[in-house]
Amino acid sequence: MQGVTSDSKPGSFMKISFARPSVPKTGVVVVFAAEGPKLGELAGQIDKAAKGQILKAAKAANFTGKKDQTLDVVAPGAGLERVIVMGLGRPEVLGAREIELLGGAIAGTLQAVKAREGIVAALPEVKAVGADEAAALLGSGAGLRVYRFDGYKSKKPDSAAALGAITFQTDDAAKARKAFQAYDAIREGNHLARDLVNEPSNVLFPAAFAARAKALSKAGVIVEVLTPAQMKKLGMGSLLGVAQGSAFEPRLVVMRWNGAAKSEKPVAFIGKGVTFDTGGVSIKPAQGMEDMKGDMAGAACVTGLMLALARRKAKCNVVGAIGLVENAIDGNAQRPGDIVKSMSGQTIAVLNTDAEGRLVLADVLWYVQDRFKPKFMINLATLTGAIMVALGKENAGLFSNNDELAARISAAGIATGEKAWRMPLAPEYDKLIDHDVADMKNIGGRYGGAITAAQFLQRFVNNVPWAHLDVAGTAMDSVKSSINQSWASGWGVRLLNRLVADHYEA
């Protein structure tokens, strides 16, 4: 079956550049002030050239340079269109993460005043990172922020009027430019993940998603796409059972990035890719069902991560595998009570067809550990509503059979702001999914729904370090931040990139 085609085109992306400090003669300039206000160097120079207009405006507006305070001075003189002063509070205590968020806030402010270009002063007195790294971090935040998904508007937004370029000033511009390359790669991966999650399900059905993944081969990723016939041969009855009610065929996509020696075991990332989740015969209520176009956010994250790692030429061997299915309803859809046989040989009684993500992941996890013998497996899935009941939308649920891996993920989460909170796994929970006829059932009881889902996944993991991230609350309908204003956050790309960079690169 064919879907409609998207006319969503990747718009020309904002240009981010770095230059040595100088006093601009025209344009929109962003400068900084510490608490006081104590103007930064460029701010002071502009104030002098504009005969004290900046400090006068600060006084009139009660701007004291407190963190997150901004002062917008229009046509202050000296030829400038606008000078935006951002308060830093105490710049000497700003950490890397706060600098990146500040970059997002700067881009947001430039957009809000409809600037087409911006020049940003060097950050004063920052201690946590070097000046060039600070400039690169500002660029990272700005790049993440300016994401748009507007390809479906028939009236095209005037791209000439959009924010098209930001220049960040810093003493060693060449060094900042170099540091920025990795951030730009990560940004590209994050934006790909957001795009995939934002796409509607009539456009991004399994084969269409697979085609988007296949396009990563241009970035040096090796991409294989398995058809239903191949999956059937492998015995993936659990995944195929979910797919059988849909007019769209399922796909299993395996992406590989080989950035290290052949002898190095790969790390593996696995994503739930349910391109739409109606619930199946255990149908979902109408209210909010449209959000289930994002039920492939785990797969989107894995795809975005592979792009980011390939773009920055990560020195690591990485496997990304995504199970792509639609959970639909028709006369051939699987029924509550059906028993399916997974690739592992274990049988599953499908008591609720809406607990489909775990059925998809069961076969993909088994396949990946069997074929690739990875150092670890991390899967991502918008798996349960229950994880939002437990943790809200600020933390993903983290389940793991390995304390070291869990600790590394937690730390990378704090560093990137993509936070994950560890949840328990234990035999007492595991027995809740035993079944009298089949080896297991696909739902637990009324309580601990995110945990019993994780226990289910663990039954398809052997002796390999494994972690499961339940991203139902963080990947879509996400909490807005200075680096993301989109419904789809691209959650996990920055976190997992950081995990790889910190621990698994030669």
Residues of this chain that bind Zn ion (CB under 5 A): 274, 277, 295, 357
385 binds, among Zn ion, ligand BES, Mn ion, none (CB under 5 to 8 A by kind): ligand BES
According to DSSP, residue 344 is labeled T
Of the residues 358, 441, 494, 498, only one is catalytic, namely 358
> Which one of ligand BES, Mn ion, Zn ion, none is in contact with 384 (Cβ closer than 5 to 8 A by kind)?
ligand BES
Residues 6+ apart with CB under 8 A from 480: none
Which residue minimizes CB distance to Mn ion? 354
Amino acid at 370: D
Q: Is 358 a catalytic residue?
A: yes
- State which H helix or E strand residue 191 sits in: helix 173-198
Residue 386 contact, options Zn ion, ligand BES, Mn ion, none, Cβ 5-8 Å cut-off depending on partner type: ligand BES
* CB of 288 vs Zn ion, minimal distance in Å: 13
Question: In angstroms, what is the minimal distance from the CB of 277 to Zn ion?
Answer: 4
Please give the C-alpha separations between residue 494 and each of 91, 187, 304, 359, 491, in angstroms, as whole numbers.
24, 8, 9, 27, 7
Helices (H), 70-130: 96-112
449 interacts with ligand BES by CB under 6 A: yes
Site membership for ligand BES, residue 242 (CB under 6 A): no
Type of residue found at 412: A
The piece of 69-77, 177-185, 354-362, 408-416 that touches ligand BES (CB under 6 A) is: 354-362
Give the nearest distance from C-beta 238 to ligand BES in angstroms. Answer: 14
What minimum distance in Å lies between the beta carbon of 299 and ligand BES?
12
Minimum separation from the CB atom of position 381 to ligand BES (A) = 8
The interface with Mn ion within residues 336-375 (CB under 5 A) comprises: 354, 356
Residue 277 lies near ligand BES (rule: CB under 6 A): yes
Q: Which residues contact 375 (CB under 8 A, 6 or more apart)?
A: 265, 266, 267, 268, 464, 465, 504
Per-residue interface string for the shown chain with ligand BES, residues 370-389, x marking contact by CB under 6 A: ------------x-xxx---
What letter represents residue 30's amino acid?
A: V
Is the peptide bond between 37 and the residue preceding it cis, with omega within 30 degrees of 0? yes
Question: How many residues of this chain bind ligand BES (CB under 6 A)?
Answer: 14
Tell the smallest beta-carbon distance from residue 384 to Mn ion (Å). Answer: 9
Q: Which CB sits closer to Mn ion, 188 or 277? A: 277
In whole angstroms, give the CA distance from residue 293 to residue 275.
Answer: 6
Identity of residue 440: M
Q: Please indicate whether residue 422 is annotated as part of the active site.
A: no
DSSP assignments along 449-506, one per residue:
HHHHHHHHHHTT--SS-EEEEE-TTTSBSPPPBTTB-SSB--TTHHHHHHHHHHHS--
Nearer to ligand BES, 101 or 488 (CB): 488
Q: In the complex with ligand BES, which residue's Cβ is closer, 30 or 270? A: 270
184: tokens are 């730009």
The nearest distance, CB 419 to Zn ion, in angstroms, is 22
Indicate whether 277 belongs to the interface with Mn ion (CB under 5 A): yes
Active-site residue, from 284, 313, 315, 422 = 284
Please say which residue, 335 or 480, places its beta carbon nearer to Mn ion: 335
| CA gap 242, 247 in Å, rounded | 12
Selection from 134, 117, 106, 158 nearest residue 28 by Cα: 117
Give CA–CA dist 84/33, Å, rounded.
Answer: 10
Length of the chain: 506
Any contact of residue 249 with ligand BES (CB under 6 A)? no
Could you list the active site residues? 284, 358
- Chain positions contacting Mn ion, by CB under 5 A: 277, 354, 356
- Chain positions contacting ligand BES, by CB under 6 A: 277, 295, 352, 354-357, 382, 384-386, 443, 449, 472
